[in-house]
Structure 1
Amino acid sequence: MTQHILIQSIICGFLTTYFLFANNKTEWNYDGNTSQDWANLNPMYLGCENGNQQSPINIVTKAVQQGAIEFNLKYMPAKGVNVRLEHSTFKVTYPQGSFLEMVGIRYHLKEIHFKTPAENAINSLYAPIEVQFHHQHSKGNKIILSVFFMEGRSNPTLDLIVKNLPTQENKSHFITNIDANSFIPNSLDSYQFDGSLTTPPCTQGVRWIVIKQPMSATQDQADAMRNITKPNARGTQDVANRLIAE
């Protein structure tokens, strides 16, 4: 009987933690965005502090090694997308049909996230904007493709999004005629490494592809996003003994 009660207590405790995690979507923020801060909020977030392959990172180019894996992109123009403001980040939900292919495996484009400033850095240099393309395989494996936007000429597609940004958390705006290809540079040369999601629960096992060639955007475009979201980048994490390939 005592063992039965103990098992029931464990199950109840697990369910309580699960439902708190599932229902409380505003418990973390970027005011305190250290790994320790997030890990203390919820047992489900302990990986944010204890994980040994966390993202983002500062890529030191002199330490990079050869060995990046070739990949192809097949992005289709979207007749319409929803732009949502969620956890201080603008997220574009992309329709089915677009994918990244690596080693014969297709990872389907699910969402496009906008970070201001960039989360990843190159030799400690942070771009004003980082656009992150979230892909997922049917078995759950994830790849995030990252493109930096440096200050320069206006990006027309980004401008269309900026003019239709929601200003309230968990609100969406519908925008027509968006082409993800307009966020991709001519060269797909990249840095590649194993990392994690940059938001709680900081799940690891994510392959990151950081494109070397930047795109351009105006400072006004970056400011328009950041004025709504405020800075929404997680701090860089310890690279440890990870291989960064190019």
Structure 2
Amino acid sequence: MIHSRRSFLIGVPIVAAATVVATSTSAIAAPSHQSPIAIRSRSAVDDPELPELVIDYPDHVDLHVHYVRHDMDNPAGCTIRGPEETIQADVPAGTAAVRIAGVRYELLQFHFHTRSEHVLDGHHYSLEQHYVHRGPHGQTLVIALFLTHGGRGGTPQDAVLHTLPQECGNDRDIAVNLEKSLPGDLSTFRYDGSLTTAPYTEGVSWLILRRHHAVTDASVNGFEKLFPKGNARKLQPLNNRTVRYRRQR
């Protein structure tokens, strides 16, 4: 098997979704590598050789915050709350990125789910924030951050969640200190998965931050009120994938 350079960025060899194993009578599809998954920290492989996650987020960035509807062309969609809808903050091109093993991944946008899509040691968090990045060859890398109650406010997340755009309502433009949106502890669980919304494309590099981030009760409650039935995809089988852990404090 030939591995691309990206296949080692998270420590998990990536196999194309269309790969098949030929037999004398049929072709057997490769196991599905879908997200989200349940992560057990004791089962994760501790791998200090994984490349460091380097954050290059600015202390000032202008965000375009809007409600994402699943069926944008259907006027009736304004009265139907779909499970794949969310609040999304678009980031201007070239303003924020992360680097792994010298490769730069541009931050395109971030959005939120409730409850958390991933589960850590059997625990669902109130919210999960996804930072979606694009690599130089079109690769997708997502950093996931768990959000909890009890914060004192003033975080970039609170700025976005404080006054949420309503479905089919007006968008918002706000400036935030994106540099402060992540915890100081950048230890991550890493695995190869997929998008969690249609078309569920595989080959996505997932980095799940172990340390959660606290936002105000009002921020959590407001998002939960907007999505009373939640907007998280159900857990997917691991299918023999290895979750690796990279400590970085």
- TM-score normalised according to structure 2 size: 0.74
Q: C-alpha separation between the residues in 1 aligned to 2:220 and 2:135?
A: 31
Matched, 1:184 2:164: no
8 Å Cα contact 1:131-1:147 kept in structure 2: yes
Please tell me the root mean square deviation across aligned C-alpha atoms, in Å: 1.7
SS at match of 1:61: coil
Aligned to 1:92: 89
Q: Which has the higher helix share?
A: 1
8 Å Cα contact 1:161-1:175 kept in structure 2: no
CA-CA distance at 1:190 after TM superposition: 0.7
Q: C-alpha separation between the residues in 1 aligned to 2:153 and 2:197?
A: 27
Q: C-alpha separation between the residues in 1 aligned to 2:231 and 2:32?
A: 22
- Name the % identity: 23
Runs of 4 or more off by more than 3 Å in structure 1? Answer: none
8 Å Cα contact 1:107-1:135 kept in structure 2: yes
Aligned to 2:22: none
8 Å Cα contact 2:65-2:174 kept in structure 1: no
Please list the CA deviations of residues 18-55 of structure 1 after superposition, one character each: whole Å capped at 9, or x if unmatched. Answer: xxxxxxxxxxxxxxxxxxxxxxxxxxxxxxxx961100
- Give, as a single letter, the amino acid of the residue that structure 1 aligns with 2:106: H
Deviates more, 1:151-160 or 1:226-235: 151-160
8 Å Cα contact 1:114-1:130 kept in structure 2: yes
8 Å Cα contact 1:147-1:183 kept in structure 2: no
SS at match of 1:63: coil
SS at match of 1:206: strand
Q: C-alpha separation between the residues in 1 aligned to 2:129 and 2:99?
A: 19
Q: C-alpha separation between the residues in 2 aligned to 1:184 and 1:74?
A: 11
Matched, 1:161 2:173: no
- TM-score normalised according to structure 1 size: 0.75
- Give, as a single letter, the amino acid of the residue that structure 2 aligns with 1:196: S
8 Å Cα contact 2:61-2:91 kept in structure 1: no
8 Å Cα contact 1:51-1:204 kept in structure 2: no
Q: C-alpha separation between the residues in 2 aligned to 1:172 and 1:75?
A: 27
Which runs of no fewer than 5 residues in structure 2 stay unpaired? 1-29, 70-84
Larger Rg: 1
Aligned to 1:241: 240
Please list the CA deviations of residues 187-229 of structure 1 after superposition, one character each: whole Å capped at 9, or x if unmatched. Answer: 1011000000000000000000001111102332111012113
SS at match of 2:244: coil
**1:48-63 pair list within 5 angstroms:** 52-63=32-43
Q: C-alpha separation between the residues in 2 aligned to 1:238 and 1:212?
A: 20
Please list the CA deviations of residues 59-117 of structure 1 after superposition, one character each: whole Å capped at 9, or x if unmatched. Answer: 01121102243220101134421111113201100112211101111010000011121
Please list the CA deviations of residues 128-154 of structure 1 after superposition, one character each: whole Å capped at 9, or x if unmatched. Answer: 011110000131101000111122223
Which runs of no fewer than 5 residues in structure 1 stay unpaired? 1-49
8 Å Cα contact 2:59-2:180 kept in structure 1: no
Q: C-alpha separation between the residues in 1 aligned to 2:58 and 2:179?
A: 8
Q: C-alpha separation between the residues in 2 aligned to 1:53 and 1:78?
A: 36
Deviates more, 1:85-94 or 1:152-161: 152-161
SS at match of 2:171: strand
- Give, as a single letter, the amino acid of the residue that structure 2 aligns with 1:191: F
8 Å Cα contact 2:150-2:214 kept in structure 1: yes
Aligned to 1:117: 115
Matched, 1:108 2:106: yes
Please list the CA deviations of residues 139-198 of structure 1 after superposition, one character each: whole Å capped at 9, or x if unmatched. Answer: 1101000111122223323332223311114x4522322122222001101100000000
Matched, 1:71 2:53: yes
SS at match of 2:152: coil
Pair 161,205 (structure 1): closer, same or farther in 2 beyond 3 Å:
same
8 Å Cα contact 2:60-2:177 kept in structure 1: yes
- Give, as a single letter, the amino acid of the residue that structure 2 aligns with 1:200: A
